[in-house]
Amino acid sequence: MTTTNWSPDSWKNFPINQQPDWPKDPLDQTISKISQLPPLVFAGEIRTLRENLAACERGERFLLQGGDCAEDFSRCNAVPIRETLKVILQMAIVMTYAANKPVVKVGRIAGQYAKPRSKPFETIDGVELPSYRGDSVNGPEPTLDARQPNPDRLLQAYFHSTATLNLLRAYVHGGYADLHKVHVWNKEFLANSPQGRKYEKLASKIDDALSFMEACGLRQLPQLKEVEFFTSHEALILEYEKALTRKDSLTDKWYDCSAHMVWIGDRTRQPDGAHVEFFRGINNPVGLKVGPSMAEDELIKMIDVLNPNNESGRLTLISRFGHDKVRKHLPKLVKRVKKEGRNVLWSCDPMHGNTFTASTGYKTRDFEHIANEIKEFFHIHRENDSIPGGIHFELTGADVTEVKGGAQKIDDHHLQERYLTNCDPRMNCQQSLEMAFQISDLLRS
């Protein structure tokens, strides 16, 4: 990709949204420090993900992207990280088995610490406070002090991302993701649930297949022992992203080495804005959230800027309309992209268009709405001879009560029981697995 007049700092000449009001000198010092620290990921891994996503575009693989809405420094410890990895591995196995094609696993993890907010202020118990913007900016506690943007948090975000990624790498390459462990992933909250039992049956079939392969002498296939797992986050705080943007010594190209994949949120995708400018120069696979306000011409313009050479694996369009709006908005965009011959991967985020406030005051989503937006996404693509190539969830491996519905029949009154998110409501492990079985039916049909 050739990029004229671009540098890791060129975004500074463009209008920017959703940035905190940082104190200047401490910010400059922190950014200069982060710029000296090692990259979190290596450009070669980023290129591997691009190839995988190109295969999703062709319908040869399927993308599963998921994790917390906002990661939380205080929950950067082994159990939550393992639980999230585990549920993603389980979902991926269920979907691989159904679709007969590999699932590309990308976590919203090891860097998902910055949040765009609809309102800069919120009122809690009658007190007006700056909104929480993610742990890399300020704290969730409802005090004026905690809500001040603190650049030191960017450095903490770097180290928390590093610690998370280190453990993920250990799990995926150190034996935890070994296919022989399919039963082990099903322990704890899931084992006695209907979804857990359904999964157990499938895991037994996989075990049988493995025994058969081993009896045939196919014992040491590396694909059975390890998986590829990639990281992603919304690249919102551009000071941080640019500090981790490095020129690859092998190819002389720029990569944002804070994660394998980064995306532009629905609130910061102005065609002439700073985020689009920053993203156009990095060679990572990039995501673009596409919500109801995206016009056809604007989408084509964004594709031109973000993927001028029409390369496969470069751009993932993540549609997020809501179950009741997807029919109205998605078909015309899909048709237009197809007509113009643009190579993109279409993925569906069935979370962000389906948020509402429950009667008990909790911000929630309904399992049925999520499932319905996914069904519509598959149908619309298939009606238009386009490929539904991926899915994007906010989920956790923990047994939280944040999303309504599912087999557990979580209702408005249950939400308060284990409502732990600092930001948007996530599907819990049972709901996630249940959703994976539903997607499997769609993949198979």
Pick between residue 83 and residue 424 the one whose CB is nearest to Co ion: 424
Figure out which of the listed residues 80, 196, 265, 287 binds ligand PEP, where binding follows CB under 6 A: 265
Q: How far apart are CA 142 and CA 130, in angstroms?
A: 9
What's the Cα-to-Cα distance from 254 to each of 219, 231, 240, rounded to whole Å? 40, 18, 15
236 binds Co ion (CB under 5 A): no
Pick between residue 20 and residue 265 the one whose CB is nearest to Co ion: 265
Q: Which does 260 bind (CB under 5 to 8 A by kind): Co ion, ligand PEP, none?
A: none
* 143-172 binders of Co ion (CB under 5 A): none
424 binds Co ion (CB under 5 A): yes
- CB count within 10 Å of CB 121 equals 10
Helix, strand, coil tally for the chain in percent (to 5): 40, 15, 45
- Least distance to ligand PEP, CB of residue 423, Å: 7
Binding track, positions 88-117, relative to ligand PEP; x by CB under 6 A? ----------------------------x-
Would you call 338 helix, strand, or coil by DSSP? helix
Figure out which of the listed residues 133, 280, 320, 381 binds ligand PEP, where binding follows CB under 6 A: 320
Figure out which of the listed residues 49, 54, 69, 433 binds Co ion, where binding follows CB under 5 A: 69
Pick between residue 33 and residue 267 the one whose CB is nearest to ligand PEP: 267
Q: Which does 369 bind (CB under 5 to 8 A by kind): Co ion, ligand PEP, none?
A: none
Pick between residue 243 and residue 398 the one whose CB is nearest to Co ion: 398
Q: Which stretch binds ligand PEP (CB under 6 A): 15-23, 264-272, 301-309, 412-420?
A: 264-272
DSSP class of residue 356 equals E
69 binds ligand PEP (CB under 6 A): yes
Q: How far apart are CA 131 and CA 142, in angstroms?
A: 9
Binding track, positions 383-422, relative to ligand PEP; x by CB under 6 A? ----------------------------------------
- Chain centroid to CA 271: how far? 22
Check: CB of residue 303 under 8 Å from CB of residue 315. yes
Q: Where are the alpha helices (DSSP H) in 141-271?
A: 152-173, 194-215, 222-225, 238-243
Number of residues lying near ligand PEP (CB under 6 A): 9
Figure out which of the listed residues 289, 329, 369, 404 binds ligand PEP, where binding follows CB under 6 A: 289
Question: What are 358's two structure tokens?
Answer: 């429950």
- 222 — phi, psi (to 5°)? -60, -30
Q: Tell me the residue length of the chain.
A: 445
**Cβ-proximal residue to ligand PEP, closest one:** 265
Pick between residue 30 and residue 266 the one whose CB is nearest to ligand PEP: 266
What is the enclosing helix (H) or strand (E) of 348? strand 345-348
- CB count within 10 Å of CB 35 equals 13
Pick from 230, 266, 236, 228: nearest CA to 108: 230
Number of residues lying near Co ion (CB under 5 A): 2
Pick between residue 83 and residue 234 the one whose CB is nearest to ligand PEP: 234
Q: If phi over 0 gives left and psi between -120 and 50 gives alpha, with beta otherwise, what is residue 68? A: beta
Q: How far apart are CA 37 and CA 161, in angstroms?
A: 13
Q: How far apart are CA 364 and CA 367, in angstroms?
A: 10
Q: Is 300 exposed, middle or buried (0-12, 13-18, 19+ CB in 10 A)?
A: middle
Binding track, positions 347-366, relative to ligand PEP; x by CB under 6 A? -----x--------------
- Least distance to ligand PEP, CB of residue 350, Å: 11
273 binds ligand PEP (CB under 6 A): no
Question: What are 54's two structure tokens?
Answer: 């190109």
Check: CB of residue 366 under 8 Å from CB of residue 404. yes
In sequence order, the β-bridge partners of residue 404 are 366
- Least distance to ligand PEP, CB of residue 298, Å: 16
Q: Which does 265 bind (CB under 5 to 8 A by kind): Co ion, ligand PEP, none?
A: ligand PEP
Q: How far apart are CA 200 and CA 193, in angstroms?
A: 10
426 binds ligand PEP (CB under 6 A): no
Pick from 2, 17, 6: nearest CA to 234: 17
Q: Which does 246 bind (CB under 5 to 8 A by kind): Co ion, ligand PEP, none?
A: none
Pick between residue 381 and residue 426 the one whose CB is nearest to Co ion: 426
Q: Which does 320 bind (CB under 5 to 8 A by kind): ligand PEP, Co ion, none?
A: ligand PEP
Q: How far apart are CA 165 and CA 229, in angstroms?
A: 10
- Least distance to ligand PEP, CB of residue 111, Å: 13
277 binds Co ion (CB under 5 A): no
Figure out which of the listed residues 72, 239, 266, 277 binds ligand PEP, where binding follows CB under 6 A: 266
Q: Are strands 245-247 and 229-234 parallel, antiparallel or unpaired?
A: unpaired
Pick between residue 196 and residue 350 the one whose CB is nearest to ligand PEP: 350
Contacts with Co ion, residue ranges (CB under 5 A): 69, 424
Residues of this chain that bind ligand PEP (CB under 6 A): 69, 116, 234, 265-267, 289, 320, 352
